[in-house]
Amino acid sequence: MKSIKVAPYLLSALRVAAAFIFLMHGTQKVLGFPGGARMPLTSLLGIAGVIELIGGSLMLLGLFTRPVAFVLAGEMAVAYFRTHMPRGTWPILNGGELAVLFCFTWLYFSAAGPGPLSVDALRKRV
């Protein structure tokens, strides 16, 4: 019986799911959708929203995955240490668990790549 290697496809699925959720954070800050208030683009939250909107879109497509994921991991590290860490040490208590999880997820993608279902993979075939 021939085994099917699903791990690379699950990598792509994780990238798409994480990117979609991340993208929603960006649309919330930049567009006020779904729900939430639009942030001024010149504010720190507005800049974060633009990074999340553009970076989330690129990650959803799997385009320039490694460098984009590295930038997004950095953004989440800054978000954690600037916003959440001053509220306390433990992420579960300071509201920073999502920032930590996104930080390490994007850091993983910066090393692992996008998986086979991505624009990056299509570009390599051509």
3-state secondary structure of 92: helix
121 in a structural domain: no
Task: Let me know how long the chain is.
Answer: 126
CB atoms within 10 A of CB 53: 20
> What pLDDT score was predicted for residue 1?
53
1 in a structural domain: no
Predicted structure pTM score? 0.92
Q: Say what the alpha-carbon torsion angle 101, 102, 104, 105 is, to the nearest 10 degrees.
A: 110
43 in a structural domain: yes
Residues contacting 68, CB < 8 A, separation 6+: 55, 58, 59
For 95, the domain range is 10-113
CB atoms within 10 A of CB 52: 26
Contact in structure between 31 and 50 (CB atoms under 8 Å): no
> What pLDDT score was predicted for residue 114?
97
The band of 126, judged by pLDDT with boundaries at 50, 70 and 90, is low
The number of domains in the chain is 1
Mean pLDDT of 94-111: 98
Q: State whether the Cα torsion 31-36-62-4 is positive or negative.
A: negative
5 in a structural domain: no
